[in-house]
C-alpha cells in the first residue's frame, strides 16, 4: 500500500481503517494524511501534541489528497473507529523529535499542525505557524463545523446568513457585528480601536477579531455549526485563524457571494442601518480593501476546492435557492423540517 516505515501495529491499524473506509490501496500519501488528521481530531493530542516517525516525508498536499483527506475526516469524526483510537494511542505514546525534520508535524512544544487550507501556496510564503507555542485548551468547541461566508460589501451576506440560520439552525457569527457590539460595550478595552478602524474602512487587528469569534463559539458550543461572515478578510486574518482556531474546528467550505461592484455600491448606499461605514467615502475604502486583500483569500481557498460560488446579484430568494443546493450536496448540515 505505502512504503511507510514505523511501528507495525500503527501501520496495521492504519491499513485496517483504510479498508474499513473503502480506500484503494494504491492511493499514495493516504497513511500520512490520516496520521495528520488523527492529530487534528484527537482531544488528547490537542493537549499534548506528538508525532509518529511514519509522518516524515513529503508535506506537499495535492488537490486530490485534500479530497481524500476530507472524505476520511468525515468518517473519522462521525465514527471514531477503534483502529483510529489505537493509532492515536500509539502516536501519543511517542515523544516528538525536537530536531528539525522534513515532517509536516510540529516540533515538541509547538501547537497542532494546521489544516491543509492553512498551508499556503507559494504566493503566500511560508507556513503560518513558525513560533513555538503551547497548545490551548478549547475542548468545548472541539472540531466545530464552520462555513466561511465571503463576498464584497453589499453582496447580501447578512440576509443569506439569516436564511441559513432559519433553515439549518447554524449560529451566525458576523465579524462586523461582533466588532460593532464590542465597540458599543461600555467597558470594552477595544472600543476606540475598533471605532477608528471602522471609520477609516481598514481591518481591525486579527487578535481582537479572533478573540471575539472564539468567545461567541464557546457561548454556543452545542450548535450544529457556525456561519462566520466576513472573515477571514485578508492574509493576516487567515494567519490569525490558523494560529488560534483552525486546529480546533473543521472548515466545511467557503460560501462566496459573487456580485458586481455597481450592484454592491447601490445596495450599500440605499440601505439605512445607521452604520458608520455605509457612507460614500468609507464604502470606497472598503471596496478597495476587499479587492486588494479579500479576493486573494477567496482565490487561495479556490485552489483547494473549498469555494462554493453563488451569484448574489439576483433577488434574495433566488440566491438562497443556490445556497440550498450547495448545502444539500455538501451533506454536513440537516435542514429543519
Torsion angle of alpha carbons 262, 268, 271, 272, nearest 10°? -150
What is the Cβ-side half-sphere exposure of residue 106, based on CA atoms within 13 angstroms?
26
Q: What's the per-residue H, E or C state across 65-89?
A: HHHHHHHHHHHHHHHCCHHHHHHHH
Strand order in the sheet with 307-311: 171-174, 226-229, 144-150, 249-258, 307-311
Residue 97 pLDDT more than 60?
A: no
Q: How many CB atoms lie within 10 A of CB 48?
A: 10
The contacts found for 302-309 with CB under 8 angstroms, 24 or more apart, are 303/63, 303/121, 304/63, 304/66, 304/116, 304/117, 305/63, 305/66, 305/67, 306/117, 306/251, 306/253, 306/254, 307/253, 307/254, 307/256, 308/253, 308/254, 308/255, 308/256, 309/256, 309/258
- What residues contact residue 119 under an 8 Å CB cut-off, 6+ apart? 59, 61, 104, 127
- What residues contact residue 204 under an 8 Å CB cut-off, 6+ apart? 179, 193, 194, 197, 198
Q: Which tens digit of pLDDT belongs to each residue from 223-243?
A: 999 999 989 988 999 999 998
Q: Which tens digit of pLDDT belongs to each residue from 4-20?
A: 444 445 455 556 655 66
Phi and psi at residue 86, to the nearest 5°: -65, -40
- What residues contact residue 96 under an 8 Å CB cut-off, 6+ apart? 49, 50, 51, 105, 106, 107, 108, 109
- Provide the pLDDT for residue 297: 93
Please give the share of the chain, as a percent, with pLDDT higher than 70: 56
Q: Which tens digit of pLDDT belongs to each residue from 158-195?
A: 999 999 999 999 999 988 899 999 999 988 989 999 99
Q: How confident is the model at residue 80 (pLDDT cuts 50, 70, 90)?
A: very low
What is the Cβ-side half-sphere exposure of residue 20, based on CA atoms within 13 angstroms?
15
H helical segments located in 169-276: 175-184, 191-200, 206-219, 235-244, 261-270
**Superfamily of domain covering 140-330:** P-loop containing nucleotide triphosphate hydrolases (3.40.50.300)
- Provide the pLDDT for residue 281: 76
CA dihedral (145, 150, 156, 158) positive or negative: positive
Q: How many CB atoms lie within 10 A of CB 203?
A: 21
Residues of the chain with CATH 3.40.50.300: 140-330
pTM of this prediction? 0.60
- Provide the pLDDT for residue 150: 96
Q: Which residues pair with 330 in a beta bridge?
A: none
- Provide the pLDDT for residue 118: 72
Amino acid at each position: 500500500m505505502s512504503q511507510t516505515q514505523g511501528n507495525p501495529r500503527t501501520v496495521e491499524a492504519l491499513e485496517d481503517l483504510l479498508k474499513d473506509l473503502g480506500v484503494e490501496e494504491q492511493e499514495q500519501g493516504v497513511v500520512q494524511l490520516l496520521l495528520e488528521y488523527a492529530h487534528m481530531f484527537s482531544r488528547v493530542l490537542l493537549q499534548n501534541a506528538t508525532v509518529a516517525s511514519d509522518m516524515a516525508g513529503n508535506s506537499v498536499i495535492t488537490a486530490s489528497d485534500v479530497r481524500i483527506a476530507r472524505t476520511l475526516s468525515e468518517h473519522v469524526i462521525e465514527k471514531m473507529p477503534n483502529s483510529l483510537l489505537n493509532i492515536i494511542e500509539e502516536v501519543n505514546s511517542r515523544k516528538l523529535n525536537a530536531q528539525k525534520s522534513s515532517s509536516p508535524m510540529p516540533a515538541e512544544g509547538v501547537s497542532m499542525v494546521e489544516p491543509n487550507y492553512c498551508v499556503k501556496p507559494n504566493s503566500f510564503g511560508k507556513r503560518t505557524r513558525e513560533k513555538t507555542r503551547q497548545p490551548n485548551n478549547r475542548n468545548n468547541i472541539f472540531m466545530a463545523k464552520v462555513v466561511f461566508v465571503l463576498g464584497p460589501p453589499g453582496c447580501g451576506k447578512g440576509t443569506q446568513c439569516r436564511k441559513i440560520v432559519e433553515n439549518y439552525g447554524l449560529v451566525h457569527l458576523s465579524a462586523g457585528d461582533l466588532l460593532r457590539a464590542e465597540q458599543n460595550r461600555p467597558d470594552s478595552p477595544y472600543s476606540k480601536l475598533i471605532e477608528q478602524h471602522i471609520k477609516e474602512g481598514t481591518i481591525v487587528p486579527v487578535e481582537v477579531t479572533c478573540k471575539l469569534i472564539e468567545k461567541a463559539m464557546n457561548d454556543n458550543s452545542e450548535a450544529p455549526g457556525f456561519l462566520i461572515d466576513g472573515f477571514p478578510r485578508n492574509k493576516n486574518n487567515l494567519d490569525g485563524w490558523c494560529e488560534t482556531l483552525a486546529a480546533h474546528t473543521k472548515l466545511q467550505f467557503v460560501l462566496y457571494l459573487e456580485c458586481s461592484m455597481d450592484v454592491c455600491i447601490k445596495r450599500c448606499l440605499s440601505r439605512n442601518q445607521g452604520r458608520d461605514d455605509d457612507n460614500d467615502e468609507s464604502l470606497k475604502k472598503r471596496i478597495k480593501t476587499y479587492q486588494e486583500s479579500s479576493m486573494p483569500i477567496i482565490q487561495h481557498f479556490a485552489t483547494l476546492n473549498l469555494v462554493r460560488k453563488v451569484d448574489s446579484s439576483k433577488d434574495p430568494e433566488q440566491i438562497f435557492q443556490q445556497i440550498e443546493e450547495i448545502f444539500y450536496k455538501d451533506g454536513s448540515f440537516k435542514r429543519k423540517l
